[in-house]
Amino acid sequence: MKIGSLLRKELKHLFYSPMAYVVSGIFLLITGWFFTNALFFVGEAELRGMMDVMPLLLMFFMPAITMRSLAEEKKVDTLQILMTLPVKEWEVILSKYIAVVSLFVVTLGFTLFYVFLLYLLGSPDGGMLFGNYLALFLLGCTYISIALFASTITSSQVIAFITGFSIIFVFFVLSRLQMILPVRVQSVVERFSMLSHFDSMLRGVVSLADVFYFICLNLFFLMLSTYMLVRRKG
């Protein structure tokens, strides 16, 4: 399987680079702080504090671990090696996407320690927790697909980061600005806003519509990334 071979290479790049460890480490520190903060100072054994900052936190972390994917290959010209191997553009994009998602999942896996603590300290709502993690996973994947697209349009990691961040930020702001928009536009914006879908999942209500929304967004940006790679050929 070519995807498998490509994926193994991408994973090597990710896990050989200090960037992955630094970013994941900081991520765990910050989420840990929010969790313990709620636990000890507010006296709440729950993930809400952590979940509230996640959309913002991931907005920085996902572009940071994704920006390298294609920008670096372009910059040092290894794209010539990669794209003259007998592989298709979508296989390259998908393998890079899965690699970063894997890193994200591993990092997210570490936060399960907090969940473990919750179970020690009380009896949390399992359904709610499942909803929370599914929402986090889907949101993170979506951010990654956007950041990956940003990485296809430039050979500079910095520009890839800024572009990825900006696109995600627009989605984010869009939902926060809802209230000041005319009522008619509100409902449309709400439908397209990541946060409203994310929030409804956080409440423990996992609707197929929300899941479908995120999957569509992922597919859209993966296809857009593939298109950029095809278009590069001129």
By the criterion CB under 8 A, which residues form the site for another protein? Answer: 2, 4-6, 8-9, 12-13, 16-17, 76-81, 83-88, 233-234
- Cβ proximity to another protein: between 14 and 195 the closer is 14
The backbone torsions φ and ψ at residue 19, rounded to the nearest 5 degrees and listed phi first, read -50, -45
Q: Which two tokens stand for residue 5?
A: 């071979």
Residue nearer to another protein on the CB measure, 78 or 207: 78
24/193 with CB nearer another protein: 24
CB of 171 to another protein, least distance (A): 33
Residue 165 CB, nearest approach to another protein (Å): 25
Residue type at 207 in one-letter notation: S
In the complex, the smallest distance separating the C-beta of residue 78 from another protein, rounded to whole angstroms, is: 5
Pick 48 or 232: Cβ nearer another protein:
232
Task: Specify whether the CB–CB gap between 142 and 100 falls below 8 A.
Answer: no
How many Å apart are CA 98 and CA 96, to the nearest integer? 6
Residues contacting 228, CB < 8 A, separation 6+ = 149, 152, 153
Give me the residue label for tokens 């499942």.
Answer: 130
Give yes or no for a contact between 10 and 99, defined as CB atoms under 8 angstroms apart: yes
For another protein, the closer of residues 48 and 88 by Cβ is: 88
Whichever of 182 and 234 has its CB closer to another protein, that residue is 234
d(CA 126, CA 135): 14
Instruction: Give buried/exposed letters for 107-140 (b at 16+ CB in 10 A, else e).
Output: bbeebeebbeebeeeeebeeebbebbbbbbebbb
Of the candidates 27, 26, 46, the one whose C-alpha atom is nearest the C-alpha of residue 36 is 46
Q: How far is the CB of 74 from another protein (least distance, A)?
A: 10
- Tell the smallest beta-carbon distance from residue 2 to another protein (Å): 6
* Least spacing, CB of residue 164 vs another protein, in Å: 22
- Rounded to a whole number of angstroms, the minimum distance from the CB of residue 234 to another protein is 5
Q: Of the two residues 72 and 210, which places its CB atom closer to another protein in the complex?
A: 72
- Cα 60 to chain centroid distance, Å, stands at 10
